[in-house]
């Protein structure tokens, strides 16, 4: 039903509002998201947030599933390096996910589809900046529709 040769309409539609999945750690990540909410900073509606206890709970497996299901990009928001309340668990997470980025590049999916923001989105305006900037990046990338079959 889907596959190469689909109509160009889907491609434009998707690029206009790329779909983003955000894994936000319940501490720094969600505090930033909450702050943006309280300030009522307008953001595009095509992203979904999954709160996690710690960024280290985000399995590379889950990132790949998300991308394979047609989601354009995945963002992982964690605490500052050195500020994780689970004793530097986020360090391991960052290393792992950085490696995943390299892998995504190597297989042609593109490491740019995985955004890692450790400690840079804990304030409201920073969260909004990170989400908006990621949306812009994803708009510039080709559609993921051909992968869904």
Judged by CB under 8 A, how many residues of this single chain contact other proteins?
Answer: 58
Q: Which residue is associated with the tokens 């300030």?
A: 39
Does the footprint of other proteins cover residue 101 (CB under 8 A)? no
Span interacting with other proteins, options 3-11, 69-77, 107-115, 139-147, rule CB under 8 A? 69-77
- Concatenating the DSSP letter of every residue in 96-128 gives HHHHHHHHHHHTTS-GGGEEEEESSS-SHHHHH
DSSP assignment, residue 56? G
Span interacting with other proteins, options 1-9, 75-83, 102-110, 138-146, rule CB under 8 A? 75-83
Does the footprint of other proteins cover residue 50 (CB under 8 A)? yes
Structure tokens at 132: 């908006």
Does the footprint of other proteins cover residue 48 (CB under 8 A)? yes
Q: Taking phi first (over 0 means left), then psi (-120 to 50 degrees means alpha), and beta for anything else, what does residue 68 get? A: alpha
Q: How far is the CB of 149 from other proteins (least distance, A)?
A: 16
**Cβ distance 112 to 21 under 8 Å?**
no
**Cβ distance 62 to 114 under 8 Å?**
no
Nearer of residues 48 and 142 to other proteins, judged by Cβ: 48
Does the footprint of other proteins cover residue 46 (CB under 8 A)? yes
Footprint of other proteins on this chain (CB under 8 A)? 19, 21, 26-28, 30-31, 33-38, 40-46, 48-54, 56-62, 65-66, 69-71, 79-80, 82-89, 92-93, 96, 119, 122-126
């Amino acid at each position: 039903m889907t596959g190469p040769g689909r109509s160009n309409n889907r491609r434009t539609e998707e690029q206009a509002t790329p779909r983003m999945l955000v894994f936000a750690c319940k501490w720094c990540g969600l505090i930033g998201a909450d702050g943006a909410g309280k300030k009522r900073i307008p953001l595009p509606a095509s992203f979904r947030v999954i709160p996690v206890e710690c960024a280290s709970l985000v399995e590379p497996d889950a990132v790949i599933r998300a991308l394979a299901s047609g989601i354009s990009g995945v963002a992982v928001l964690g605490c500052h390096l050195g500020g994780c309340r689970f004793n530097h668990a986020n360090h391991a997470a960052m290393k792992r996910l950085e490696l995943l980025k390299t892998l995504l590049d190597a297989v042609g999916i593109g490491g740019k589809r995985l955004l890692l923001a450790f400690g840079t989105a804990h304030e409201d305006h920073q969260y909004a900046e990170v989400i908006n900037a990621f949306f812009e990046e994803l708009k510039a990338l080709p559609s993921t529709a051909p992968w869904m079959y």
